[in-house]
Structure 1
Amino acid sequence: MADKSENSDKSAAESRSGSQAALDVLRTAGAQLAELTGLRAETVTRFERTGEGWLIEIEVLELPRVPETMSLMASYEVNTDQDGQLTGYRRTRRYERGRADRR
């Protein structure tokens, strides 16, 4: 009976550890993108594990305008290795903050 409880505790700890690792990857990727582009991450819209690491889509404010709904936003696709170190990025979309997708 104790073995089952220990296994449950161990898997819960591993799950928390995995969640923390994912948050660390997000923080690191956002910080590295900001350092390279000079743009601060506002939102993460995609986050998934790939065979080589992680694929993250981050939205940033590229050009502030008044009113704010006219500000220019951009989506960046960021690739990292398994440890969360940035291996590449590219801008995939540029749009006004107040505009909805036309899909």
Structure 2
Amino acid sequence: MTDIDPSEYTVDELRDELDSIDDGGVLREVREAESDGKNRSGAKEAIAERLETVSDDGAEASEGENDDDDADETNGNATSGVGIVDIRNNIRDAAADLIGRPLDSVVEIGHGDDGWHAIVEIIERRSVPDTQDILGRYTLELDEEAAITGYRRLDRYRRGDTRSDEEAAASAST
């Protein structure tokens, strides 16, 4: 585990602290700690920006980072060696840049005959309170090597709108 607890910093302080980290694995740990803790979108954006900088500067860091901790989780696809954790990490790193807005969450990941697919939620407009944020739900298509090959928006809604969740639950129970 990393020595940095992102919950101990404001977003601006965290951004300054991240500048001293050059290890993509440590940055991913900080991102995971933030997601498990306060889960602030600004902090996650700062971590993602730094992770992009580190990944761009050191391509060798992104290739060899699948340590023993992740080895058991990446067995999702025996033919290509790309697993669900690799897909999730690729989506986290690329979705916001691709769509041009901050990633809020990865909702679903699946594998089919044509490769991988994922559904993500993107913050399309921030509001105060955040329950009024406008989120877009997008589907991403990925090939067997986890490269994103296409995407499209499925829906837009307010974060606080539970109608679609309630409709899904109602249809599942009938």
TM-score by length of 2: 0.47
Deviation at 1:15, TM superposition (A): 4.8
Q: Choose from 71, 77, 82 the match for 2:133.
A: 71
Q: Secondary structure at the match of 1:88?
A: strand
Q: 1:28 to 1:17 in 2, by over 3 A?
A: closer
**Map of 2:75 onto structure 1:** 18
Q: Percent identity?
A: 26
* Residues 1:41 and 2:98 aligned together: no
Greater alpha carbon shift after TM alignment, 86-95 vs 36-45? 36-45
> Residue 59 in 1 paired to residue 116 in 2?
no
Asked if structure 2 preserves the Cα contact closer than 8 Å seen for 1:56 and 1:79, the reply is yes
Separation in 2, partners of 1:34, 1:54: 18
**d(CA) in 2 for partners of 1:33, 1:24:** 14
Q: Cα offset for 1:65?
A: 0.5
Q: Distance in 2 between matches of 1:67 and 1:22?
A: 33
Greater Rg, structure 1 or structure 2? 1
Runs of 4+ in 1 over 4 A off after TM superposition: none
Measure how far apart 1:16 and its partner are: 3.7
Kindly indicate whether residue 151 of structure 2 is the aligned counterpart of residue 84 of structure 1. Answer: no
Return 5+ residue gaps in structure 1 as ranges: 1-13
Instruction: Please state which structure has a larger fraction of its residues in helix.
Output: 2
- 1:11-47 Cα distance to aligned partner (Å, 9 max, x none): xxx8544158211111112322211222222212111
The structure showing larger relative contact order (alpha-carbon pairs under 8 Å, at least 6 residues apart) is: 1
Q: 3-state SS of the aligned residue for 1:32?
A: helix
Which moves more between the two structures, 33-42 or 52-61?
33-42
